[in-house]
Amino acid sequence: MRTERTAAAAAAALCLLAGAALAAPFTPARDDEVVERLPVASDPTLRAVESLRRQLASRPGDSALRLDLAERYFALAMAQGDPRYVGYALSAIAPLERSAAGEARYWLVRGQLQQYTHDFDAAVRSLQRASELSPQATQPIAWRAAIHMVQARYAQAAAECDQLARTPETLLAQGCIAYVRSVTGQLIPAYQMLSDAVAAAGQVDPGLMLWLQTRLAEMAVRLQRWGDAERHYRTALALGITDQFLLGSYADFLLQRERPADVLALLAGWERSDILLLRLALAGRAAGDPRAGDWNAQLRTRFEDAARRGDRLHEQEAARWALDLANDPARALAQARNNYTLQKEPRDAEILLRAALAARQSAAAQPALAWLKESGYEDPALQQLAARLGGTPR
């Protein structure tokens, strides 16, 4: 069971940016500062966090307790997309910079929090230190692979996957390898390899299974196997785990398939998340929902506030809002270009290509066009955009 939990936690790394929201993390000045009243009565996860907070107030020198609390906060940030939890986690571990410098767990948590704020180079260094202190640990390896994937450093990501393959986490390693291959010109064999691995696996931790099914769903979408994609998404949802990345990915699939009513049902009550509110606004407009105007206004306010603060945690979503809802291609292109300097995932390339096309500035799309050509990434939608921009032919 311990191995399964470790695999699930490591798999979560490969969805690392899913929980990032637009506002910057807030870091409390003191351990006893009241930053939010959590609705703990109905949520066991929040009850556990509140219990840890109370324990820490009475035992501020307990480093293990600080790391426990930081891990809980980070899990909440990843699940719900609320960056305040990352600020709380940073506050929890701040006193450990010297006292816990020899603990692998400290460097793992520190690296996780650094990547959330897009300090990717520092995160890799922290995660490397975690591996030096605990060579058998799989989570630091998986997190480094995830960061390399976000920055389109596929050779480095593949090397980390190879390290995972030398651990007992066989299914996680297979998923990691398939993930890299799926974006480097081997989509069909990667999908088949991972499908076979999942089918042959016995009992799998739900967290790991959620990640595997989401990866398979996204591969199936690119292969235009719509029924398979739907099946994978529904299998992941049936696990009953709150995961913002899964919800956003499935919502995008439903929007692509012109099923906005299903998006509204899927994301009901998720207005607090900027990432999911964007999908609600897009679906609301497509469905003629009277709430669409208010959702769009909320997004405008949130994105404009973030721009004034200089936040860059989710420029991709801000660019998509500017292009698809605000009808402002110039603004969308500026944000998409800035975003692409930090993140180079396929969806980052897609919004850059679409914004450049809408703004009639094909030269601005060259970084994404070069990535599409060099990586061998297979996706009919991106290939059609590239063709329209004078890049990769259809």
Q: Span 250-271, mean pLDDT? A: 97
Range in 81-85, 122-126, 134-138, 329-333 the model is least confident about: 81-85
Burial 183-217, CB ≥16 within 10 A → b, else e: bbeebeebbebbbebbeeeeebbebbbbbbbbbbb
pLDDT at 327 over 80: yes
Question: What's the pLDDT score for residue 306?
Answer: 86
pLDDT digits 0-9 by tens, 37-88 = 444 445 677 888 888 889 888 898 889 999 999 999 999 888 887 888 999 9
Q: If pLDDT is split at 50, 70 and 90, which confidence band does 1 have?
A: very low
Q: Span 350-355, mean pLDDT? A: 98
Gap between the Cα atoms of 341 and 143, Å rounded = 20
Question: What's the pLDDT score for residue 270?
Answer: 95
pLDDT at 119 over 70: yes
Question: What's the pLDDT score for residue 104?
Answer: 97
The dihedral through the CA atoms of 290, 293, 294, 299 has a sign that is positive
More confident residue, 357 or 34: 357
Question: Whose CA is closest to 263, among 245, 249, 242?
Answer: 249
Q: If pLDDT is split at 50, 70 and 90, which confidence band does 18 have?
A: very low
pLDDT at 357 over 60: yes
pLDDT digits 0-9 by tens, 180-204 = 999 999 999 999 999 999 999 989 9
pLDDT at 245 over 60: yes
Gap between the Cα atoms of 131 and 68, Å rounded = 19
pTM over cut 0.85: yes
